[in-house]
């Protein structure tokens, strides 16, 4: 089943930042304050990519838990991207997660399933490696 998702960016009034919209949700893209007219009002592209990786993995953990009838406790996901070269590009990414469930085995099962099924991570792995790390809760 194919789906197309989109986000449209237009000027945020009174700035040179971009206001991105999809449905009823919004976000702001901007450069750091003083760089290329940026005011530091929003996220840069690398931060948005880290957000996409981390947010997708967050959701995938919960999808995996629901599919297995597992109730998750506290979850903590951190995503990072590494930039290098000229022109600057993403050369690596990492996702770390602490996952609590009724048993450590259940937490690990959900983590492993999310690693295998993460849409964004699987999509970018042809361009750069994505490392996953499970941390004890």
Domain positions in the chain: 1-43, 45-135
Looking at the whole model, is its pTM more than 0.95?
A: no
Q: How many CA atoms lie within 13 A of 24 on its CB side?
A: 0
- Separation CA 20–CA 7 (nearest Å): 6
3-state secondary structure of 109: helix
Determine the average pLDDT of the residues in 59-74.
98
pLDDT attached to residue 1: 87
Element (H, E) at 16: none
The beta strand positions in the chain, using DSSP E, are 8-11, 18-22, 25-29, 72-84, 89-101, 130-135
Q: Which CATH number fits domain 45-135: 3.60.10.10, 3.30.300.20, 3.30.1200.10, 3.40.50.10540?
A: 3.30.300.20
Average pLDDT of span 101-124: 97
The predicted pLDDT at position 16 comes to 95
For tokens 């991570």, name the residue: 121
pLDDT at 136 over 90: no
């Amino acid at each position: 089943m194919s789906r197309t998702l989109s986000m449209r960016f237009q000027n945020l009034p009174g700035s040179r930042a971009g206001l991105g919209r999809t449905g009823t949700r919004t976000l702001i893209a901007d450069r750091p304050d003083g760089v290329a007219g940026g005011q530091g009002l929003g996220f840069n592209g690398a931060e948005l990519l880290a957000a996409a990786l981390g947010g997708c993995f967050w959701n995938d953990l919960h999808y995996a838990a629901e599919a297995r009838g597992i109730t998750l406790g506290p979850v903590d996901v951190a995503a990072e991207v590494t930039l290098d070269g000229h022109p600057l590009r993403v050369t690596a990414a990492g996702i770390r997660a602490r996952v609590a469930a009724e048993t450590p085995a259940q937490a690990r099962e959900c983590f492993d399933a999310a690693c295998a099924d993460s849409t964004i991570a699987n999509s970018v792995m042809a361009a750069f490696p994505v490392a996953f790390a499970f941390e004890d809760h």
